[in-house]
DNA sequence: AGTCTGTTTATAAACAGAAAC
DNA sequence: GCGTTTCTGTTTATAAACAGA
């Protein structure tokens, strides 16, 4: 809940399929629509993990949520989902999760009205029983996938072009299509769209080179080799997007080869965070490991050195009522290019030279008060209701931010209608919020078993309060620790909170890669 | 042909209608298409102005073209079109035009096969005879409008909110719709989309304020007041685009009011060129003036002072064969923030304070050799021909740059089929190139009368070579001079070419406003 | 003549924080 | 004061136009 939100590693705003089948406008409903999909604007439910595992807010810590893990549930899967969820929701969202094992009396709380055994979820496979052996691989995925889930489907061979250094050329590796039925033993890479932005993938590509320079074609090839989605299913416009990103972002600089014949792309060294797919991959591979008390961190040895201590420290904790900073971010980081710590690049096997680079993204303007800042979602599905406001003679949209029509239920594999009595309570298991889907509203309902985000103590969730004292696991997505095991990123500087600028967490380190 | 190209003032890449009627996908032709519109991939023609007035390349000066003005033609209209054309095509395109009066023997050359009297052009009105009195106002316009043409339709009252300074609020001025039939006397503003980019319009808006700060809402209002298109016909998504531009471009900075309550947008003073709509308007108003030997420049008094002389002057003229600079622009202007002259803001009636600002856009890396760099256009209509290349199993597009299907003829009012014998020679009068229309190809055809861009001397265009010596007008769109009249922007520093960085022309000054 | 590469602009969209209602 | 809605601001994605190599 501190420091300015880094961009999540897990992609948002990337719903668009980008498949070869064009939008098809099948459900265009051009003028007569806007009444469809029957989303009944319910007060929404408490958040649930897939298969009805509930998540409750902690009564006192706003950044903490409590999860009761059923006995039948797959712990690794849940940890993965929670990690993704925590990272995704940024700083204001929950980033600590207390995992409690269910004490058998599961029929007690009706909070989610969906049991683990529930197999009638209409939106895709249910697949949580570990005996199914496709615990992760069969989770219904789409573009709004978390990267951990996605990585569970990635083949490790997708990383091998790293190891076969320099010989990535034209051999048709990785061309083995998986036939959509992917049992756990097979290790083909998915054709699912990876959850990384173009900018992130370009960084992955360029940073995989020791000289940290790549031609455009090599970037294409690298991405196609490591993310077969782009070779196989994406429309060719993805290359246009790559070029667009290279040109648009100042982070990417085009340089000339010494002979001046070819040009190659580099990353501005002063802002290169040196993230590689390997690092991201290792993070999540470890996440899926055996012991739950395993570090979620990459195996790299990062060193944060407080060089160029910011001179404007007074802006870091603004007076809580003056100026209010009104942070929509980014404008507060003007001229923050110099005064950030130098972050040494990890010298893993892919790098020869430890290029010195300093971080230059955010000035880490943390808001003073983190007082119960419940996350707001704009639950209004969309206001393409015609003539809703008689402002103009426009017969078209009235909102200045375009919005997609709410998708139909079957298009959202995370939306599972529970078997409970109230058919209106559609649970949103998606880690991605869609405006129009059932979202969590901050409305407080202290009285019922309904799916509110009521503080924890109000809900009769457990058969006895003893369970709250169960020494469960604590998953902290802010520093990617599970239980009390801290990540093994060794910060050479202060690591207490709210003390210094060197207090950069892994999630921030990862998150700034958009 | 010198200095790096500024972005044209006249908008390109803005074909999209952005009207309330959605794309309608009526002619989607999803899979069976791509054969339509009957564009026969002809070798294309030499460039012509509307009504068949030909433009020929000058035999020796690659940036110069020669235009023979028929007696019946409207000179002002032609000058306007040429000015737009010159500004639009950037540095590599022609920016000087020698205007010659036709010597009566018009039937001589068959080069354009369209006479001025031709009235059978199927795409809109022909409207060049000044006796029609709607010389400019009736030119068929669409989104690919030049700004000069567009300004011909603009009401002068659209500028009056400047004069009624500060009281722009809610009075329903400018709400007088024009009923599409706009005789010359009436002065309603058009509902046509203005040819300015969002970035340009935002600058117009903010620079119209003395304090050079505007809230978002004020920017909206300013644009709506001055360009009623956005109030009346544009989809509400245009406000999204405004916000997008404000956020995206570093040029726009959000600041807080002194009380910290509201935020307003400013333009980074070190790169603010202080262009206002008033200036653009005056430029074009003068262009439409009576005498052809009139200055095309704004009435402002700009002063360029060579402060911070660049230290890396050796990069300004690279060795002509080494490195070759391979300018796709923009990457050559890294770190050029400091070393450019300070450009004083013009203190016209809209400014109180002469904010000091220096230019910081382009480092003016001029290509060494401007040897017959004929402009290329990618005339390939689009290659959504399925299975054209058996590269992948993609059934969809194969080009990584998406392209629109070629529009039908009737949608392009500039495309006029001449009455000549060859029905295939569709002339493109549009100042905007569409990749599918007939474009000028650099193919050299020295032998025929065909529509090639053959050097000037090869074409038997004139009845006698005397006409080449006719003391015609010279329209130079690089510095916006007609005849020998220079623009009245007074540069205090060097104004000879290739000498100093202060050699900034009006077109560059204007052009950098995208 | 066509393709690849690079730059810009436009538009839609997701979403978050702040302000208004 | 709270809850909702709207406004404002930031990013990402995608299409597209077009220029230069
Ligand atoms: Mg770049
Ligand atoms: Mg900005």
Per-residue pLDDT of chain B (514 residues; tens, 9 = 90+): 333 333 444 444 455 556 664 433 333 333 333 333 333 333 333 344 544 455 555 444 555 555 656 555 655 555 655 555 555 444 445 556 656 555 433 333 332 333 223 333 333 333 333 333 333 333 333 334 456 677 777 755 565 554 433 333 333 343 344 333 444 444 456 899 999 999 999 999 999 998 889 999 999 999 999 999 999 999 999 999 999 999 999 999 999 988 888 899 999 999 998 989 888 877 665 654 444 333 333 323 222 222 232 233 333 333 333 344 567 767 553 333 333 333 344 444 334 333 333 333 333 333 333 333 333 333 333 233 333 333 333 445 578 999 887 665 443 333 333 333 333 333 333 323 333 333 333 333 332 323 333 333 333 322 233 322 223 455 544 444 443 322 222 222 222 233 223 333 344 444 444 4
Instruction: Name the domain boundary from B101, B117, B133.
Output: B101
A-facing residues of B in 388-407 (CB < 8 A) are 392-402
State the residue for tokens 């009249």. B485
Residue B507 — φ and ψ, nearest 5°? -65, -35
Task: Determine the pLDDT at residue A189.
Answer: 67
Q: Is residue B79 part of a domain?
A: yes
User: Which of A428, A408, A372 is closest to A45 using CA atoms?
Assistant: A428
Domain membership flag for residue B39: no
Tell me whether residue A456 is in a domain: no
pTM: 0.53
Residue A275 belongs to a domain: yes
**A148/A162 Cα distance (integer angstroms):** 20
Q: Which residues in chain B are contacts of A398 at CB distance < 8 A?
A: 236
In which residue are the tokens 């329209």 written? B475
Q: CB within 8 A of B489, min separation 6: which ones?
A: B297, B298, B300, B301, B302, B506, B509
H or E stretch including B80? helix B75-88
The pairs formed by A31-36 with CB atoms below 8 angstroms and a separation of 24 or more are A31/A386, A33/A384, A33/A405, A34/A382, A34/A384, A34/A385, A34/A386, A34/A405, A36/A405, A36/A406, A36/A408
Range of the domain at A224: 198-286
Distance in angstroms between the alpha carbons of the first and the last residue of chain B: 19
- Judged by C1' against the alpha carbon of A8, the nearest nucleotide is D11
> What ipTM is given for this predicted complex?
0.54
How far apart, in Å, are the Cα atoms of B203 and each of A117, A175, B240, B271, B356?
A: 60, 50, 16, 11, 16
Q: Which residue of A has its CA nearest to B324?
A: A260
Q: Is A20 on the interface with B (CB under 8 A)?
A: yes
pLDDT of residue B219: 98
Q: Which residue is nearest to nucleotide C6 (CA to C1')?
A: B328
Determine if strand C comes within 7 Å of the CB of B376. Answer: yes
A238: DSSP letter: H
Distance CA(B242)–CA(B209), nearest Å, equals 18
Q: Which residue of A has its CA nearest to B398?
A: A236
Report CA(B397)–C1'(C7) in Å, whole number: 22
Contact call for B247 and A322, based on CB within 8 A: no
Nearest to A260 among B22, B263, B322 (CB): B322
How far apart CA B352 and CA B360 sit, in angstroms, is 23
> Residue A22: inside a domain, yes or no?
no
Among the partner-chain residues B328, B334, B396, the one whose CB lies closest to the CB of A20 is B396
Rounded CA–C1' distance between B160 and C10, in angstroms: 29
**Per-residue model confidence as pLDDT tens for chain A (514 residues):** 323 233 444 444 455 556 764 433 333 333 333 333 333 333 323 344 544 455 555 444 555 555 656 555 656 555 655 565 555 444 445 556 656 555 433 333 322 222 223 333 333 333 333 333 332 333 333 333 456 677 777 755 555 454 433 333 333 333 334 333 444 444 456 799 999 999 999 999 999 999 889 999 999 999 999 999 999 999 999 999 999 999 999 999 999 988 888 999 999 999 998 889 888 877 665 544 444 333 333 322 222 222 222 233 333 333 333 344 567 767 553 333 333 333 334 433 333 333 333 333 333 333 233 333 333 333 333 222 222 222 333 445 578 999 887 665 443 333 333 333 333 333 333 322 333 333 333 333 333 323 323 233 333 322 232 322 223 455 555 444 443 322 222 222 222 222 223 333 343 444 444 4
CATH number at residue B211: 1.10.10.10
Ligand 1 midpoint to CA B334 (Å): 10
How many angstroms away from the CA of A97 is the closest CA of chain B? Answer: 35
- A260 with B20: Cβ contact below 8 A: no
* Whole-number pLDDT of residue B97: 60
d(CA A163, CA A121): 42
Residue B376 forms contact with A (CB below 8 Å):
no
Here the tokens at position A432 are: 């991605």
Instruction: State how far the Cα of A133 lies from the Cα of A76, in Å rounded to an integer.
Output: 13
**What confidence score (pLDDT) does residue B153 get?**
73
| Residues of B with Cβ-Cβ distance to A231 under 8 angstroms | 392
Q: Which of B337, B394, B395, B403 to mutate to test the interface with A (most CBs of A within 10 A)?
A: B394
Measured in angstroms, what separates residue A398's CA from nucleotide D7's C1'? 13
Chain B residues with CB inside 8 Å of A223's CB? none
The minimum CA-CA distance between A397 and chain B, rounded to whole Å, is 6
Judged by a CB distance cut-off of 8 A, whether residue A311 touches chain B is no
Tell me whether residues A401 and B232 touch, CB distance under 8 A. no
- Candidates B236, B237, B248, partner chain A, best to mutate (most A CBs within 10 A): B236
- Measuring alpha carbon to C1', the residue closest to nucleotide C12 is A402
Distance CA(B8)–CA(B143), nearest Å, equals 16
State the alpha helices, DSSP H only, in A343-417. none
Q: What is the pLDDT of residue A273?
A: 87
Q: Is A133 on the interface with B (CB under 8 A)?
A: no
* Residue B228 phi, psi (nearest 5): -60, -15
Instruction: Name chain A contacts of B328, Cβ cutoff 8 Å.
Output: 254
CB contacts < 8 Å between A and B, how many? 79
Residue A153's nearest CA partner among A197, A177, A187 is A187
- Looking at the domain assignment, is residue B192 inside a domain? no
Query: A447 lies in a domain?
Result: no
**Dihedral (CA of A386, A387, A392, A394) sign:** positive
Q: Is residue A433 a contact partner of residue A377, using CB atoms and an 8 Å limit?
A: yes
- CA dihedral (A471, A476, A481, A484) positive or negative: negative
Quick one: pLDDT at residue A279? 83
Residues B315 and B333 sit within 8 Å (Cβ to Cβ):
no
> Pick from B237, B260, B324: which is nearest to A322 by CB?
B260
**Rounded-to-integer distance, Cα B402 and Cα A411, Å:** 27
pLDDT of residue A281: 75
Pairing of strands B96-101, B473-476: antiparallel
CA nearest to B503, candidates B335, B362, B324, B322 = B362
Nearest-angstrom CA–CA distance, A56 and A49:
11
Separation between Cα atoms, residue B36 and residue B20, nearest integer Å: 26
Closest ligand to the CA of B251: 2
pLDDT of amino acid A203 = 97
Å between B202 CA and D7 C1'?
18
Picking from B286, B314, B345, the residue at the C-terminal end of a domain is B286
Q: What angle do CA A128, A130, A132 make, to 5 degrees?
A: 85
Using CA atoms, how far apart are residues B60 and B96, in angstroms rounded to an integer?
12
Domains in chain B: how many in total? 2
Over its C-alpha atoms, chain A yields an Rg (Å, rounded) of 24
A432: in domain: no
Measured between beta carbons, the chain A residues lying within 8 angstroms of B256 are: 323, 326
Distance B432 CA to C2 C1' (A): 21
Q: Taking a C-beta distance cutoff of 8 angstroms, is the pair B425, B45 a contact? A: yes
CA distances from B68 to A425, A438, B98 (A): 75, 68, 8
User: Which residue matches tokens 């960085």?
Assistant: B501
């Amino acid at each position: 809940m501190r420091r300015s939100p880094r961009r999540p590693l897990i992609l948002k705003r990337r719903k668009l399929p980008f498949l070869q089948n064009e939008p098809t406008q099948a459900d265009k409903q051009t003028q007569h629509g806007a009444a469809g999909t029957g989303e009944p604007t319910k007060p929404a439910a408490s958040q649930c993990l897939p298969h009805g595992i509930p998540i409750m807010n902690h009564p006192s810590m706003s950044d903490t949520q409590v999860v009761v893990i059923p006995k039948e549930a797959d712990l690794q899967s849940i940890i993965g989902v929670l990690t993704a969820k925590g990272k995704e929701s940024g700083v204001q969202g929950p980033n600590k999760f207390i995992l409690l094992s269910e004490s058998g009396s599961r029929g007690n709380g009706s909070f989610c009205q969906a049991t683990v055994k529930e197999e009638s979820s209409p939106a895709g496979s249910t697949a949580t029983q570990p005996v199914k052996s496709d615990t992760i691989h069969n989770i219904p995925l789409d573009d709004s996938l978390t990267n951990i889930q996605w990585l569970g489907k990635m083949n490790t061979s997708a990383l091998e072009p790293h190891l076969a250094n320099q010989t990535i050329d034209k051999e048709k590796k990785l061309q083995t299509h998986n036939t959509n039925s992917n049992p756990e033993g097979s290790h083909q890479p998915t054709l699912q769209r990876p959850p990384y932005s173009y900018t992130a993938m370009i960084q992955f590509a360029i940073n995989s080179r020791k000289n940290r320079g790549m031609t455009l074609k090599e970037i294409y090839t690298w991405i196609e080799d490591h993310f077969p989605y782009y070779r196989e299913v994406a429309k060719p416009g993805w290359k246009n997007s790559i070029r667009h990103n290279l040109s648009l972002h100042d982070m990417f600089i085009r340089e000339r080869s010494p002979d001046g014949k070819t040009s190659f792309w580099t990353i501005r060294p002063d802002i290169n965070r040196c993230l590689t797919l390997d690092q991201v991959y290792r993070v999540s591979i470890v996440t899926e490991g055996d012991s739950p008390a395993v570090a979620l961190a990459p195996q790299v040895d990062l060193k944060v050195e407080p060089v160029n201590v910011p001179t404007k420290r007074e802006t870091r904790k603004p007076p809580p009522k003056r100026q209010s900073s009104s942070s929509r971010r980014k404008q507060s980081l003007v001229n923050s290019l110099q005064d950030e710590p130098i972050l040494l690049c990890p010298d893993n096997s892919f790098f020869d030279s430890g290029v010195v680079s300093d971080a230059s993204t955010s000035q880490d303007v943390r808001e003073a008060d983190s007082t119960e800042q419940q996350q707001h979602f704009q639950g209004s599905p969309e206001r393409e209701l015609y003539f809703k406001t008689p402002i103009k003679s426009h017969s078209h949209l009235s909102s200045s931010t375009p919005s997609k029509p709410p998708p139909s239920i079957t298009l959202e594999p995370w939306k599972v209608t529970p078997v409970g009595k109230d058919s209106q309570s559609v649970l949103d298991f998606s880690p991605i919020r869609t405006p129009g889907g059932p979202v969590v509203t901050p409305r407080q309902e202290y009285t019922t078993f309904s799916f509110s985000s009521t503080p924890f103590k109000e809900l009769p969730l457990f058969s006895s309060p003893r369970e709250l004292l169960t020494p469960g696991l604590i998953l902290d997505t802010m520093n990617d620790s599970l239980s009390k095991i801290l990540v093994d990123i060794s910060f050479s500087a202060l690591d207490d909170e709210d003390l210094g600028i060197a207090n950069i967490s892994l999630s921030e380190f990862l998150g700034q890669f958009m």
